[in-house]
């Protein structure tokens, strides 16, 4: 599964304004509701329930909130670069400024895990993350996220 299968230029957002983890999740739920046709409230509920299990702040300024919804037919991805870092209760206690939201159908078990693994591998690339932080528009963010990674 490739990142380009999960996101589109319309689901990549630059300089998202939020001052807390909850505001980040609310803003992404709002935007995801528009793109998926799902209820903003249902999306936010799923994301908050997932955060209660443990933070999705994976470290190095990155969070990968995710959840499953009955009303979805396919996996949807959303990427946001925050205009300023927020405390996300990350594993390394570092604030988060790069957020990749994944929403999957209830029955999308293996595909959901493959998508999470792909996003994690993509954002583990320090050089790519530096470029994401220095990119000024959503189209450029999309290009950086979807380019083939170079393996040494």
Q: Which domains, from first to last, does the chain contain?
A: 3-145 (3.40.930.10)
One digit per residue, the tens of pLDDT, for the chain of length 152 reads 899 999 999 999 998 999 999 999 999 999 999 999 999 999 999 999 999 999 999 999 999 999 999 999 999 999 999 999 999 999 999 999 999 999 999 987 788 899 999 999 999 999 999 999 998 899 999 999 999 744 43
Contacts of 38 (CB under 8 A, 6+ apart): 32, 69, 71, 72, 103
Residue given tokens 């493959």 in the structure block: 114
76 counts as catalytic: no
Tell me the C-alpha distance between 39 and 80, whole Å: 20
Tell me the C-alpha distance between 83 and 141, whole Å: 14
* Phi, psi torsion values for 10, nearest 5 degrees: -80, -10
pTM score of the predicted model: 0.93
Among residues 29, 43, 61, 66, which one is catalytic?
A: 66
């Amino acid at each position: 599964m490739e990142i380009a299968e999960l996101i589109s230029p319309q689901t990549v957002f630059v300089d998202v304004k939020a001052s807390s983890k909850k505001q980040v999740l609310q803003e992404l739920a709002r935007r995801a509701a528009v793109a998926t046709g799902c209820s903003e409230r249902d999306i936010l509920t799923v994301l908050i329930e997932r955060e209660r299990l443990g933070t999705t702040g994976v470290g190095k300024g990155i969070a990968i909130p995710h959840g499953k919804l009955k009303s979805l037919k396919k996996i949807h991805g959303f990427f946001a670069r925050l205009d300023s870092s927020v405390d996300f209760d990350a594993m390394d206690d570092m604030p988060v400024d790069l957020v990749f939201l994944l929403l999957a159908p209830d029955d999308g078990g293996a595909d959901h895990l493959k998508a999470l693994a792909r996003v994690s591998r993509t954002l583990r690339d320090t050089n790519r993350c530096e470029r994401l932080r220095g990119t000024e528009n959503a189209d450029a963010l999309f290009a950086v996220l979807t380019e083939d990674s170079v393996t040494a």
